[in-house]
Structure 1
Amino acid sequence: MRKEFFLKMLVIVILMAIYQNKILSQEYDGIPCSFGKNPHFDSKILSKIKENKSSLELKEPLSSSDPEHYQDWASSLLKSEYTGKINQLKSPSSGKFEINDPSDVRKSCMYSAASIVDKNKNTAWAEGVEGDGIGEMVFVHLDVNRNLKIWSGFGKSDHLFKANNRPDLIGIHLLIANKCSGAQDTEIYSNFTYVGSFDYKLDDLNNYQKLEIPETLLKKYKSIITKNNIFYDCYKNNINSFLLIEIKSVYKGTKYSDTLISEIAYD
């Protein structure tokens, strides 16, 4: 009996040690989102992709609780009211208060590119430069073979929709990621091919409206897909199409000059 009890206790101790090591190895290391012009966003990214000279990598988190990975998906980001107010939690490994509170990190990223694909009209990507944000860009990862829709402006309320800028004319650039590699908590897309672009006129509507990709561009996309050697080793999905949305003109807000897009989703 004593021997069996000892063996059971030994197993429990070993399992607890494994569990503790797993926790420590996955200790949260989220970094708050910064704001303003993104110094890591290459303003010449489109021309470099066209010339096959781009080293662009987009990291997409496997969990929606890690929006800081979307930091580099946009050319700029509006400052959140939570920026600079990140509480520190105690680290299980060191015992020191040195881990950023995950909920505060998420709040600092409330206007990041993560908010444009979170299926929530109450959140939005917001550019973060002076003026109306003309020329600012944001990446979106969606399957262009499906019908798409867009919620332009800040859809949280009619008051906020009217108070802030809404995109009027947007440029849409279609890209293909020819490679995807799975990491511990992200998928990394790279080796991009430029397909083409078009301008799209939006209605000043606080609701979803269609976002239609021209048939000629879709045919070119499908043609490239069949020719390219696409390598994917991802956990989440095998969607290889990306849209780069560019603000070209806006409907002016009554109070603010920030331009927002709440959502781009499947129809």
Structure 2
Amino acid sequence: MIAPDAREFVYPGMPESSNYQAAFAHTFQSKSLACYNDLSCEMKRPVGSNKASRSLTGKGGKSRQILSLPILLIALLAGLCLPFQQARAQAYEGEACKDGNSEIRTLLEKGKIPGMTLHFGITGDAQRWATSFLKAEGMPPKRMPDYDVELDGDMDIHDWTCMFAAFRAFDKNQETAWAEGVEGPGIGEVLIVKLEDSSRPIKIRTGFALSDALFKANNRPRKVRIYALSPARSDATQIGLLYSDWQVLTRKEFELKDLNAWQTVQLPAHKPSETSGSFIAIEILSVYKGTKYDDTLISEVMN
């Protein structure tokens, strides 16, 4: 159990390093459809006129004025807006974070797993980037008065369910954290992180770095095994990137210090994929015990 004050902390949306994750699903569509929801994109009002009109060139090169008819406008609006309003309402396709991904263990044991796919794009994807995560407790957040349910659906509730999911460990925010979600200290639990380059030094902020009190109250990883991973494929989707056919490039064990501060580790030489991205997996082998709770956390991993 993590301290109640930590549970009440207002977490941001999805990671800053990939802001599209919680918003991309509707942002790009709502922007591209702006003209369909605003007649000013199709017609301009002439100066001094209270009627929408446009100038067309008729036969013989003569200019003629075509006035818009109310009935025509109503039909035009009904025909254009209805399908796009439906698309707008259906734009958000995220889901709640529910369970971890057991396939990760198979990948680490066998060195490769052709069938495993990880999606990086919308709320809910975070649940597959770790073998487990701590479920959010208490009441979900209250919606703001201006919250657009039609546009955003249950995105705010879904984001809350992912409070301690994998993405929190690489969102460039030290005040959020991934927490394993099994009984006990989480020995053997694994977190996958997306990096700039796994062959470069890797910075890790263990424990719950939000405060010294929470850092001491919860477990911190002590010994870890870190794997460099590479997906054979990365494919763009409408709402993010899909990585598939994973393999292990190298691995090494490290003993981390019990400090609420950054630590740096370096994996053996390897060549990450230049096209599919760079990733590592962190497996918990032992922990520094917390004074109050038996949950193990990692706040941030980056390079």
Output the TM-score relative to the length of structure 1: 0.77
Give the AA of the match of 1:196.
T
2:136 pairs with 1:80: yes
Q: Which has the higher contact order (CA 8 A, sep 6+)?
A: 1
Q: Give 1:78's aligned amino acid.
A: L
For 1:45 and 1:19, the matched residues in 2 are separated by: 42
Matched residue count: 234
- 1:29 match: 93
Matches within 5 A, 1:172-211: 172-211=226-265
Partner of 2:119: 59
In 1, Cα distance between equivalents of 2:104 and 2:200: 29
Q: Conserved in 1, the CA contact under 8 Å of 2:227 and 2:252?
A: yes
Residue 128 of structure 2 aligns with an amino acid whose one-letter code is: D
Structure holding more strand per residue: 1
| Separation in structure 1 between the aligned mates of residue 138 and residue 232 of structure 2, nearest angstrom | 37
**Matched AA of 2:119:** K
> Which residue is 1:43 aligned to?
105
Q: Which amino acid aligns with 1:5?
A: S
* RMSD (CA atoms): 2.9
Q: Distance in 2 between matches of 1:43 and 1:265?
A: 22
Query: Measured at CA, do residues 184 and 208 of structure 1 come closer, stay the same or move farther in structure 2, by a change above 3 Å?
Result: same
* Distance in structure 2 (CA, Å) of the matches to 1:91 and 1:81: 23
Preserved contact between residue 120 and residue 240 of structure 2 (Cα < 8 Å): yes
* Aligned positions of 1:1-267 closer than 5 A: 3-6=66-69, 12-17=77-82, 19-26=84-91, 28-34=92-98, 38=100, 40-48=102-110, 50=111, 52-61=112-121, 66-82=122-138, 85=140, 92=150, 101-142=154-195, 143-214=197-268, 217-218=269-270, 221=271, 225=273, 238-266=275-303
| Structure-2 separation of matches of 1:211 and 1:39 | 25
Distance 1:123 1:47 in 2: 29
Percent of aligned pairs with the same amino acid: 36
Distance 1:24 1:44, change over 3 A: same
* Distance of aligned partners of 1:195 and 1:33 in 2 relative to their CA distance in 1, 3 Å threshold: same
Contact 1:82 1:104 in 2 (8 A): no
User: Larger C-alpha radius of gyration, 1 or 2?
Assistant: 2
Q: Deviations over 1:64-113 (max 9, x none)?
A: xx331111111111121157x488999759xxxxx852112111101000
Q: Which moved more, 1:146-155 or 1:118-127?
A: 146-155
Unaligned 5+ residue runs, structure 2?
1-52, 54-64
Cα distance change, pair 19–197 in 1 and its aligned pair in 2 (3 A): same
TM-score normalized by structure 2? 0.68
SS in structure 2 opposite 1:77?
coil
> C-alpha deviations, 1:124-151, integer Å up to 9, x for none?
0000111111110011111224442110
Would you identify which runs of 4 or more consecutive aligned residues in structure 1 move more than 4 Å?
7-15, 85-93
| Residue number in structure 1 paired with 2:30 | none
Distance change (3 Å), C-alpha of 1:160 and 1:91: closer
Tell whether the 8 Å contact from 1:87 to 1:101 is kept in structure 2 after alignment. Answer: no
